């Protein structure tokens, strides 16, 4: 058997350093064309296949970036082996179910995180990194994220998903980028969006169509950084309009469609406001479910708005006014910031804030 070529063989044949070989394979655009072609010719001639462990030894890096999310889907599924016969065929080839409306739904945060993950994966591939995903299901000790930190060159975490003391310890070992949360006197790089400004402007647009009564605000969980920023934007616009903040009714939800339904039922019982502004789309869509069933006309009887820009908002009846988050761009930007930090470890922390897009649709456009 012929001995496999190594990175040292490629470097020797091309007349370059092993670091240059690695750079060509990971970020070819960063290398001069003449050098790049010489290295690629050597790779082809030798049949070299990059080794992750060898690359890590040469550069003292793993070539892997970590993305850590908290766990949301607590329901457990039956093991696949339990429903397979001895020959591997399913014991029941198909199942007939009655599709009835229930409160069972995917956690709304997963709609957001799926898109962030997609953007991070695309950018990691472009930058020449592998992306490792960690999900902290039932992990009060945060052992998952600590284990990830020993296997990656840098780590991206969702704001408030890792306790401050744990994150501080991890940041002493590897670079950390915090997603969807503003700096809080820390030294991490941050990538977030303009939650406060966008919600303030949406509130002004709603107030311009109101009958003088303040909108009801359907807030998210108290520990949500995004939810808090959206409340800050809403309340700032309310005060700016000369409305006492104590006159505003605030309902508390948990970002799920079911909590939006409960809020709508409460409003119908108490008397409809001029508008319902929700801290996310899922709760607003749940409210629309109840209003439609009860014969409440949106936007004629009240305006309804959401936040996030998920696909379902464009498919609802009526279509939901929302603020679209650049979810894919958020993931891509986080990887770009982390890759830059690895190349320039001693520069000051950066704070990247991506713009949002207010999308006006039927649910907030009252015809005069």
Q: What is the pLDDT of residues 180-237, one digit of tens each?
A: 877 788 889 999 999 999 999 999 999 999 888 999 999 999 888 889 999 999 999 9
243-295 tens-digit pLDDT: 999 999 999 999 999 999 999 999 999 999 999 999 999 999 999 999 999 99
Q: How far is Cα 219 from Cα 307, in angstroms, rounded to an integer?
A: 11
Q: How far is Cα 290 from Cα 298, in angstroms, rounded to an integer?
A: 11
Report which of 102, 1, 89 is spatially closest to residue 47, judged by C-alpha positions: 1
> What pLDDT sits at residue 367?
64
Going by pLDDT thresholds of 50, 70 and 90, the confidence category of residue 103 is very low
Q: How far is Cα 215 from Cα 6, in angstroms, rounded to an integer?
A: 66
To the question of pTM greater than 0.85 for the whole model, the response is no
Give percent of the chain above pLDDT 90: 53
Is residue 296 within 8 Å of residue 302, measured between CB atoms?
Answer: yes
């Amino acid at each position: 058997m012929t001995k496999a070529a190594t990175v040292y063989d490629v470097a020797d044949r091309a007349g370059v350093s092993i670091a240059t070989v690695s750079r060509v394979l990971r970020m070819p655009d960063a290398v001069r064309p003449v050098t790049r072609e010489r290295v690629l010719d050597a790779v082809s001639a030798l049949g070299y296949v990059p080794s992750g462990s060898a690359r890590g030894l040469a550069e003292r890096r793993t070539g892997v970036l970590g993305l850590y999310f908290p766990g949301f889907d607590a329901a457990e599924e039956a093991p696949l082996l339990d429903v397979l016969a001895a020959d591997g065929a399913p014991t029941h080839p198909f199942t007939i179910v009655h599709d009835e409306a229930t409160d069972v739904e995917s956690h709304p945060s997963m709609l957001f995180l799926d898109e962030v993950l997609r953007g991070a994966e695309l950018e990691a591939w472009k930058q020449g990194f592998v992306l490792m995903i960690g999900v902290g299901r039932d992990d009060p000790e945060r052992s998952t994220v600590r284990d990830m930190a020993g296997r990656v060159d840098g780590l991206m975490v969702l704001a408030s998903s890792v306790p401050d003391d744990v994150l501080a310890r991890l940041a002493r070992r590897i670079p950390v980028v915090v997603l969807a949360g503003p700096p809080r006197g820390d030294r991490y790089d941050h990538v977030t969006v303009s939650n406060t400004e966008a919600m303030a402007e949406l509130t002004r647009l709603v107030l311009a169509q109101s009958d003088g009564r303040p909108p009801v605000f359907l807030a998210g969980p108290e520990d949500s950084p995004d939810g808090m920023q959206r409340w800050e934007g809403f309340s700032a616009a309310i005060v700016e309009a000369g409305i006492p903040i104590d006159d505003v009714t605030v309902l508390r939800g948990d970002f799920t469609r079911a909590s939006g339904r409960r809020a709508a039922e409460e409003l119908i019982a108490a008397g409809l406001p001029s508008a319902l502004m929700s801290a996310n789309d899922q709760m607003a869509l749940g409210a629309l479910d109840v209003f439609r069933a009860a014969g409440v006309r949106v936007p004629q009887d009240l305006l309804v708005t959401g936040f996030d820009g998920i696909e379902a908002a464009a498919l609802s009846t009526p279509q939901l006014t929302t603020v679209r988050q650049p979810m894919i761009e958020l993931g891509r930007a986080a990887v770009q910031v982390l890759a830059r930090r690895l190349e320039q470890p001693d520069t000051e922390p950066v704070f990247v804030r991506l713009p949002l897009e207010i999308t006006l649709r039927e649910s907030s456009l009252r015809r005069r």
